[in-house]
């Protein structure tokens, strides 16, 4: 089971906010950051993290489109920071590291949890933004037809169910896709 969360780590450069899929394990989570990344550097420097459970999908889309400056406040029990608008959060301490050339794995235990706001149910547009954010993080690895097909499908949920936050997040991601299309080499003519 993987939970898509906003992970905040802290190093000498300050706090770093990144969407990360946490792998659920008994009693905690595994964080598997790619080489190289700020999340990886920070976890080595300060082996703590905050998993933020948020339905504000602008943070997911924002981090992928250069908008990383989201308000935070200090965590309760660890050296770390909590996203202001999160529904709930867990404060994590690294207990073991498995080295890997591509994706080291940081096993974490939960040292503290807090709930701030109620979960008000699923929203298809939020799920669509998370899927589109993953797509945008992999644009260079995917065939153009797959990108177009998936965006066309995800857009149905945006058109039918988005509120203003989901629409704004979607527009940031689509700006990135439009810029990528403009840069991509021309398709050869049939």
Ligand X SMILES: Cc1cc2nc3c(=O)[nH]c(=O)nc-3n(C[C@H](O)[C@H](O)[C@H](O)COP(=O)(O)O)c2cc1C
Residues that bind ligand X (CB under 6 A): 4, 18-21, 32-34, 37-39, 60, 63-64, 130, 133-134, 137
For residue 19, the minimal CB distance to ligand X (Å) is 4
Question: Can you name the residues that pair with 169 across neighbouring β-strands?
Answer: none
**Judged by CB, which is closer to ligand X: 32, or 82?**
32
For residue 5, the minimal CB distance to ligand X (Å) is 8
For residue 188, the minimal CB distance to ligand X (Å) is 31
For residue 189, the minimal CB distance to ligand X (Å) is 34
**Judged by CB, which is closer to ligand X: 76, or 103?**
103
Spatial CA neighbour of 46 closest among 16, 73, 10, 81? 10
Cα(135)–Cα(100) distance, integer angstroms? 24
**Judged by CB, which is closer to ligand X: 122, or 190?**
122
Spatial CA neighbour of 86 closest among 1, 173, 27, 7? 7
Cα(183)–Cα(15) distance, integer angstroms? 32
For residue 111, the minimal CB distance to ligand X (Å) is 21
Cα(144)–Cα(131) distance, integer angstroms? 16
Phi/psi of residue 126, nearest 5 degrees? -65, -45
- The number of C-alpha atoms within 13 Å of 159 and in the hemisphere containing its C-beta is 6
**Judged by CB, which is closer to ligand X: 76, or 124?**
124
**Judged by CB, which is closer to ligand X: 61, or 78?**
61
């Amino acid at each position: 089971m993987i939970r898509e969360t906003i992970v905040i780590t802290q190093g000498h450069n300050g706090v770093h906010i990144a969407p990360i899929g946490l792998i659920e394990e008994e009693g905690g989570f595994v964080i598997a950051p790619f080489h190289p990344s700020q999340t990886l550097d920070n976890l080595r420097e300060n082996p703590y993290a905050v998993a933020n459970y948020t339905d504000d999908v602008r943070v997911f889309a924002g981090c992928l489109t250069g908008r990383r400056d989201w308000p935070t406040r200090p965590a309760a029990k660890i050296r770390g920071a909590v996203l202001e608008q999160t529904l709930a959060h867990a404060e994590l301490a690294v207990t073991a590291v498995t080295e890997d050339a591509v994706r080291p794995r940081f096993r974490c235990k939960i040292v503290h949890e807090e709930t701030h706001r109620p979960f008000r149910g699923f929203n298809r547009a939020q799920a669509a933004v998370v899927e589109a954010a993953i797509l945008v993080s992999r644009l260079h690895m995917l065939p153009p037809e797959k990108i177009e097909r998936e965006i066309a499908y995800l857009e149905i949920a945006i058109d039918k169910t988005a509120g203003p936050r989901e629409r704004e997040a979607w527009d940031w991601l689509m700006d990135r896709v439009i810029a990528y299309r403009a840069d991509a080499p021309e398709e050869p003519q049939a």
